[in-house]
Structure 1
Amino acid sequence: MLVTSKEMFRKAYEGGYAIGAFNVNNMEIIQGITEAAKETMSPLILQVSAGARKYAKHVYLMKLIEAAIEDTGLPICVHLDHGEDFEICKSCIDGGFTSVMIDGSKHSFKDNIRLTKQVVDYAHEKGVVVEGELGRLAGIEDAVNVSAEDSSYTDPGQVEEFVRSTGVDSLAIAIGTSHGAYKFKPGQKPQLRFDILEEVEKRLPGFPIVLHGASSVIPEYVAQINEFGGAMPNAIGVPEDMLRKAAHMAVCKINIDSDLRLAMTAGVRKHLAEHPDHFDPRQYLTPGRDNIRALVAHKMIHVLGCNGKAY
């Protein structure tokens, strides 16, 4: 069945683990993710960006997710990732999503509150939950493109007023993660601002926090891509031990997208390199889907700690 993330987050906060929010845009990715969730009995959030919605179309994605629910029997939350305005949030709410993110981080604090509250008011009338954002992550992912110069850490001094004024159900913060596969410069030691997370947790006790841009850029998949014609020698992600630490704190939702792309691409490239005569999409998409399933199961068990927590 389709569910909101409200109960998921309550249990995750109390249990000291996080829920994986995995971006989807085609059948094979949805199948790989949901099969892994079923195998590990993990709660699950499937999230859709504006770019994915444009590529696959809203109706196709919803029907694929409905099929996944029927196939696995799992409760699944469907979430809009980085909604940039009220209109796209409204469209997704009206179209069956159970959760939306309104990303007003590019606006002033006052305008961010105004826009976020507008979405919250509409969503809550429909029984849909809302994620807001304070602080700006650097990097590129679909329509999100923020330079390092324009990025900013979340100010813990603003979180209480923001949550109180908007009524949001969860809050995405910026503590050093970033979108894309190049999260840190070559030679730069990956580091997250856990001091900011700790201060936010003190100011918002029991409130679910979200990390965006949290792919670890698995070296195995990067190496496989490079072996078969890629050029990603400087791809560096967030160390998994840091994500585990965040999951034990106030972080209840960790977004993963780039790792899925890398896993799928690595499987497809390897297969086509080893079988250049194959032209049937079923032949080369199958190893991509298998990589997705293995990756997501690994994340759920060894990073998020949410295995066995499906309800």
Structure 2
Amino acid sequence: MPLVSTKELLTDARRNGYAVPAFPAHHLDMIRAVTETAEAMQSPVILQATPATLKQVGADFITAMVRTAADRVPVPVSLHLDHGDSFTTVIRCLRQGFTSVMIDGSHLPFQENIRLVKKVTEAAHAAGVPVESELGTIDASEMTDPADAEEFVTATGTDFLAPAFGTAHGVYRKAVRLDLARLEAIACRTGIPLVMHGASGVPPEEIRRSIRAGIAKVNFSTELKQIFSATLRRFLTDSPEETDPRKIFRVAREGVSDVIREKIAWTQSAGEPHRESPA
């Protein structure tokens, strides 16, 4: 089916008590693993690309691959810019047909972050595209203040917010400690779907508790990259004479599909595309 708006997906997720899993669109095999597994499990999914991926692959290639993959499956798929690093990057993705964009101004002072997100939101909304933003510092000790979050959302008009409540990008070096009371307060004061960044390594029960507290989108990336690399490395070691890229990458794609299946189960999104939303 054609690409759908991320806002449509997250609104339904928040209303019905699940979260939409978001996976990286690094290359064709990763994209196919996501959409084909989503079809098998009847789950909506988000494919997202960072500025680094856009630089490596090209926004036009990413859009074409994701759109083609989405057209082949009967489940909702959206295309998202993850951690957009500038207004220019956002505009480039809007022109390519991304169905949501994130602008990450979390490294900026509070008022500067507001100004940047408001500027992006005005441009994206003019194109009918929702915006994700970040407040607080994920990977650090600066957690998001609920009162600041309310002010931020009101001032910017952002559609989704990624708050800092104890998650971290990449590999966790110590036990995960999430501040779910803080998360629940942010959800109550903002009234918009919230996003969990750095979910690779977060135990499934903590993901489910976070969903109950307000999370409607969960980002997974590190674990997919790890299993893709490990499966590829193992296959090439065991089959040194194999030179056909089609066979080599098919094995890695199958390994990634197992992880995607697990994450879809954790977010409780399986079967959601065909549920009738309450009036």
TM tier relative to shorter chain: over 0.9
Is contact 2:180-2:213 (8 Å) kept? no
1:257 is aligned to 221
Is contact 2:167-2:176 (8 Å) kept? no
SS of the residue corresponding to residue 180 of structure 1 reads: coil
| Matching of residue 169 in structure 1 with residue 154 in structure 2 | no
TM-score (normalizing by structure 1): 0.85
CA drift of 1:45 comes to: 0.7
CA drift of 1:279 comes to: 2.3
State which of 146, 154, 158 in structure 2 corresponds to 1:156. 146
1:144 is aligned to none
1:245 is aligned to 209
Is contact 1:16-1:249 (8 Å) kept? no
CA–CA distance in structure 2, aligned partners of residues 58 and 85 of structure 1: 15
Equivalent residues in 2 for 1:48-59, closer than 5 Å = 48-59=49-60
| Matching of residue 214 in structure 1 with residue 178 in structure 2 | no
Give 2:147's aligned amino acid: G
Q: Judging changes above 3 Å, is the alpha-carbon distance between structure 1 residues 109 and 63 closer, same or farther for their aligned structure 2 residues?
A: same
Structure 1: tracts of 5 or more residues without a match = 139-147, 217-237
SS of the residue corresponding to residue 273 of structure 2 reads: coil
| Matching of residue 126 in structure 1 with residue 127 in structure 2 | yes
CA drift of 1:131 comes to: 0.4
CA–CA distance in structure 2, aligned partners of residues 261 and 75 of structure 1: 23
CA–CA distance in structure 2, aligned partners of residues 56 and 27 of structure 1: 10
Question: What fraction of aligned residue pairs are identical, expressed as a percent?
Answer: 37
State which of 244, 268, 278 in structure 2 corresponds to 1:305. 268
Number of corresponding residues: 273
CA–CA distance in structure 1, aligned partners of residues 163 and 173 of structure 2: 18
2:277 is aligned to none
1:196 is aligned to 182
CA–CA distance in structure 2, aligned partners of residues 204 and 116 of structure 1: 16
Is contact 1:104-1:133 (8 Å) kept? yes
Give 2:61's aligned amino acid: Y
Give 2:268's aligned amino acid: G
Structure 1 stretches of 4+ moved >4 Å: none
CA displacement 1:166-205 (0-9 Å, x = unmatched): 0000000111111112x233xxx32111121021122123
